[in-house]
Structure 1
Amino acid sequence: MPRHKTLPDEAVLEAALKLLHSKGPEALTFAGLAQACGLAAATLVQRFGSKVHLKQAALLYAWDRLDEKTAQLAARASRTPEGAIDLLVALSGDYGGIESYAEGLLILREDLRDPLLRARGARWRAVLVGVLDACLAKQSDGQAGLGQLMASQWQGSLAWWGFEPKCSIADQVGCDLRHFMAALQHRRMGA
């Protein structure tokens, strides 16, 4: 009887994420993952139980990684508007080109369908907005919500870039967010 391979969950979930990003959510099957990571499909079924639980585990792992990256970037970000922009530009760099971005939207759909994953997204947003609020504190004159507005502007910038990807996503996000901050500054000075 051949010896069974072992692989830590992290490596299996990393392979699952690669499969999700390269071939889409429907490609994440036990057979496909078995081929990608070298474990038997039956072993994967024993670990994760169902395709739904496998997908959820992979996406929770992705949220864990995003939480870690956000924390690292937030710790380095200067507490200035430019620091907020740098943080969001750095978070945007993971999307890659338009094909990768489009595949990411299919994965986002999976997050939105699952209450546990939606809750993870909401927690991440709260942390991100808190960091942005800290970076924009001097701009806001004590008015709450500027971090949420900037996060919303960022998400809009990402979406609009998808229709006309004329430059890198990081360049587009940086340009759009600098225009946003300039408009806020102009409005503040005019008021």
Structure 2
Amino acid sequence: MPRKRIIPDAQVFAIIQRLLDDGGDKAVSFGSVATATGLAPPTLVQRYGSRDAMVRAARLAFWDDLDSRTGEAIAATVGKGPQGLLKAIGPVKAADIAADLRDPDLAQRAASWRATVEAALAERLGSGGKARESAGLLFAAWQGLAFWSAAGPSDLRLKDAVKRLT
């Protein structure tokens, strides 16, 4: 009798994210995840219930990880400027976030993360309405650069945006 294969959810979610990155939403099925993980499709059905629930669980794990990374970056860059904070957070695929905006719970996670990042940027830019406005513009420039990077390099650099907004 073969031994049951056990893979933690985090590993399954990483594989789902890779499949999403490589082939988009249509690349994720119980069959494709089963092939990539070595788990049987019925095991995945038993764990997650449906394909959409499996993908949603993976995306919620993504947001948990991003929130954690962001908190660590905020703490590690106290006293540094806005560009240092954004570099510490690291690259965030704007296309992943855009896909999540169709789900109300994931959209709320995205909005909460954005508010956290903008508040941390505003602290680094000063105080008052001008700092909050500049933080919002800088966040939009950062995510815009991330989104459009797939179309090729841009002449705009994050450090240039920071200079113009401060």
TM-score by length of 2: 0.86
More helix as a share of residues: 1
8 Å CA contact 1:30, 1:51 repeated in 2? yes
- Secondary structure of the residue aligned to 1:88 is helix
Q: Deviations over 1:93-139 (max 9, x none)?
A: 455xxxxxxxx62x3343021111111101111111111111111xx
What is the Cα deviation at residue 36 of structure 1? 0.7
Runs (5+) with no aligned partner, structure 2: none
Measure the CA separation in 1 of the matches of 2:165 and 2:107.
31
1:37 aligns with 2:33: no
1:128 aligns with 2:117: yes
1:112 aligns with 2:110: no
What is the Cα deviation at residue 29 of structure 1? 0.5
Identity of aligned residues (%): 36
The CA RMSD measured in Å over matched residues stands at 2.2
- Secondary structure of the residue aligned to 1:19 is helix
Number of residue pairs matched by the alignment:
164
| Partner residue in 2 for 1:87 | 85
The answer to which structure, 1 or 2, has the higher relative contact order (CA under 8 A, 6+ apart) is: 1
Change (3 A) 1:158 1:124: same
1:24 aligns with 2:12: no
What is the Cα deviation at residue 10 of structure 1? 1.2
What is the Cα deviation at residue 72 of structure 1? 1.2
Q: Which moved more, 1:144-153 or 1:111-120?
A: 144-153
- Secondary structure of the residue aligned to 2:101 is helix
Runs (5+) with no aligned partner, structure 1: 96-103, 167-171, 186-191
Q: How do 1:3-82 residues align onto structure 2 when only pairs under 5 Å count?
A: 3-80=3-80
